Chains A and B, each alone.
Chain A
């Protein structure tokens, strides 16, 4: 599928990986719908795309809401008349171990709150499902070729302190197999699904963290640096153009390893 002339919708498009994806696709000639929770981030990205000579619409929305999802799909169609690419970058973290123990008594002093579990599942899993589902609905009903891109994470393998995040991201990584299998079953041949599982990426969240902790993380990355959001955007563009990529999850980590060199 050609990027030029296609229409892309990116949730979480107001910063981080989502912003890079939006700008990369717009630069390559796609029309883009920027969906984000924060209006001022949307405004900034739309202004940047306008300066690039691109075409864009911004839609403030919450991806966990079914009504909002229907609204940003509708807004995209009203602006551009079709939809071809949907990328679900919207995501959050609420880290914590499932149990914390009191050092003196050895008894449980704290449990991971349901609020921390539910917020991450709602955004990272339910939000991705709603976007993929409604984008696919629009593509099928419109008869347009398409690519669905759930964003997983290398932490789908299971990261301590992230039972909520890892659980959501491993489920996101499964989506391409299931979605494409169902498409095949239903005779839908022109819509593909490829998930992307980034490693540690140079988003504001990570570059702003404790620098010693960041240095420790990078010791396990063969590349020796964080993955740039633009490198992930470039991979997604490649997925759009290469129709043989389908029903799979691609990791882009710079070579994230366990300390003794076993590939993660």
Chain B
């Protein structure tokens, strides 16, 4: 049962007959299914490679740069705190493991 760490999220690739399920751990500690019944007939190692590629596509990581918004309540000084907005043109998809992020931005 391969385990993957990506973007600080814990994923597991679990066999289901001759197929594979991908589950991930929620912040609450509970587990949720990201996908079920994939990659029929693949070996554990091959399924893990395919699963990691898929996980990087369906759980994108990014950085959003925004200017100060004086009307927004979630601020620290001039820094506005917002969740990622994948629709924003400044959103950058990050397809590297979290441990391999660049030293400087």
Identify which of B16, B33, B53, B93 gathers the most chain A CB atoms within 10 Å of its CB.
B33
Chain B stretch 73-105: residues in CB contact (< 8 A) with chain A? 86-87, 91, 93
B interface bracket (residues with beta carbon within 8 Å of A): 20 to 34
List B contacts of A46 (CB < 8 A).
32-36
Comparing A63-71, A90-98, A135-143, the segment that makes contact with chain B is A63-71
CA distance A47 to B60 in the complex (A): 21
Known contacts A46-B33, A75-B54, A78-B54; A55 and B19 CB within 8 A of each other:
yes
Which A-chain residue is minimally distant from B30 (CB atoms)? A43
B58 touches which of A49, A50, A75 (Cβ 8 Å): A75
- Number of residues in A with C-beta < 8 Å to the partner? 27
At the interface, yes or no: B2 with Cβ under 8 Å from chain A? no
List B contacts of A79 (CB < 8 A).
35, 38, 54
At the interface, yes or no: A62 with Cβ under 8 Å from chain B? yes
Q: Are A56 and B37 in contact (CB under 8 A)?
A: yes
Which A-chain residue is minimally distant from B57 (CB atoms)? A75
What's the least CB distance linking B14 to chain A, in Å?
Answer: 11
Q: Are A43 and B32 in contact (CB under 8 A)?
A: yes
At the interface, yes or no: B64 with Cβ under 8 Å from chain A? no
CA distance A65 to B89 in the complex (A): 9
CA distance A74 to B60 in the complex (A): 12
CA distance A74 to B53 in the complex (A): 10
At the interface, yes or no: A60 with Cβ under 8 Å from chain B? yes
Known contacts A64-B87, A65-B86; A54 and B37 CB within 8 A of each other:
yes
CA distance A78 to B93 in the complex (A): 17
At the interface, yes or no: A57 with Cβ under 8 Å from chain B? yes
CA distance A50 to B50 in the complex (A): 19
Known contacts A68-B86, A75-B54, A79-B54; A57 and B34 CB within 8 A of each other:
yes
8 closest residue pairs by CB, A with B: A55-B37, A50-B36, A65-B87, A57-B35, A43-B32, A75-B57, A46-B33, A59-B58
Interface residues of A (CB under 8 A from B): 31, 43, 46-47, 49-50, 53-62, 64-65, 67-68, 71-72, 74-75, 78-80
Interface residues of B (CB under 8 A from A): 16, 19, 21, 32-38, 50, 53-54, 57-60, 86-87, 91, 93
